[in-house]
Amino acid sequence: MQHFEDEVLVRQFLSGDREAFAEIVRRYQKQIYSLTYRLTNDYTEAQDLAQEVFLHLYQVMEKFDGRRKFFSWMYKVASNYCYTALKKKAGNKEVSMENIIDFTPLRPDKSIQPEEYCETQETQRLIREAIKQLPEKYRLPIVLRYLEEFTYQQIAEVMEVPVTTVETRLYRGKALLQKKLAIVLERGASHEVSGN
């Protein structure tokens, strides 16, 4: 299929071209799967949820009004669908954002020395723990920026806030993260010194 802008594919789909939707799925299946995997931490469940997300998108595509970029709109719809589906599955208990904080793509390089490899793994574990403790308004932009590699503009569109708000939340979130890491690292160092 010829390469079209997302918004053109949406118009083609709404005009009856089912292949246009198939192209949207091909284009974004990795991003949607990444989202569902971060939320479930289960390969099979993530695949099932990703399929459900695309079925839902198929049904609600006419609600896309073109004032936002399609990717941002799609990601927001997918996120909302995932949280609703997981909340129902959990018996309407609150679904925590903690599952989305997973640095699995940032695995240490196994070619480095074993001692350095273990140290890198431990550092990443501490970073994950510190991120989990952040308030959600700081946690989500940090995840989108540093794990999903969204631009500031994309984060603003997904969160439906101005870019300046994204910048502020990232700045404050990183400052809070540094404080939390300092406390965690200090606690770890005193734990080692005491020999416990």
> From CA 54, how far away is CA 49, in angstroms rounded?
9
The three state secondary structure string of 50-95 is HHHHHHHHHHHHHHCCCCCCHHHHHHHHHHHHHHHHHHHHCCCCCC
Q: Which of 79, 93, 87, 181 is nearest to 134 (CA)?
A: 181
CB 74 within 8 A of CB 15: no
What are the sequence ranges of the domains in the chain?
1-95, 104-196
Domain with residues 1-95, CATH architecture: Orthogonal Bundle (1.10)
- The structure tokens listed for 101 are 């904080």
Q: What is the pLDDT of residue 122?
A: 66
Q: Which of 184, 194, 146, 182 is nearest to 166 (CA)?
A: 146
| Residuewise pLDDT in 10s, the chain (196 residues) | 566 788 999 999 999 999 999 999 999 999 898 888 877 767 888 899 999 999 999 999 999 987 778 888 888 888 888 878 877 776 644 444 444 444 333 444 455 455 555 555 666 667 767 777 778 788 878 877 877 778 898 888 888 889 999 999 999 988 888 887 777 666 655 544 344 4
Burial of 78 (0-12, 13-18, 19+ CB in 10 A): buried
CATH code that applies to domain 104-196: 1.10.10.10
